[in-house]
Amino acid sequence: MAISNGDTLPDATLVELTGEGPKQVSLSERLAGRNVVIFALPGAFTGTCTTAHVPSFIRTADQFKAKGVDEIICLSVNDPFVLGAWSEQTGAGKAGIAMLGDPSAEFTKAVGMDFSAPPVGLVDRSKRYAMYVQDGTVTVIQAEANPGQCDLSGGEALLDAI
């Protein structure tokens, strides 16, 4: 069953590329006592993810901060090196968006947001969604019916919902 409003996110060990190399990140520690936006997508360097989803959060980053959001996290089933390169290419890192990898899709599967589309090379990927999390509890979640869409899960839509 997919994660929904009111649920507490399970802990997961994600990976982030830092100046010193890959670093393991405990999601529950990262969320503790904080207001965080997490948006998840099928994959780095893919069409809608690159042209719509990430740019929507770059455009709205300052507005989220003005609403008391401590951090914006982009979550993808990719390794930290790919996410680091994608962050540089999109400007997400410069905009203050943290890129966290869920390389084996453990978190994505645990929250019921995984899908596969083998004909296009996507296996065990994340559905497209965005959520507002307060101290580890989901207060708003907006998921797309189709991974190629970025309407409900875009930065502007989530900003309007919180």
**Residues taking part in catalysis:** 49
Residue with tokens 């580890």: 136
> By the 8 A CB rule, do 99 and 86 touch?
yes
Q: How far apart are the first and last CA of the chain?
A: 23
Residue 113 CA to its chain's centroid (Å): 12
Positive or negative: CA dihedral 24, 44, 112, 35 = positive
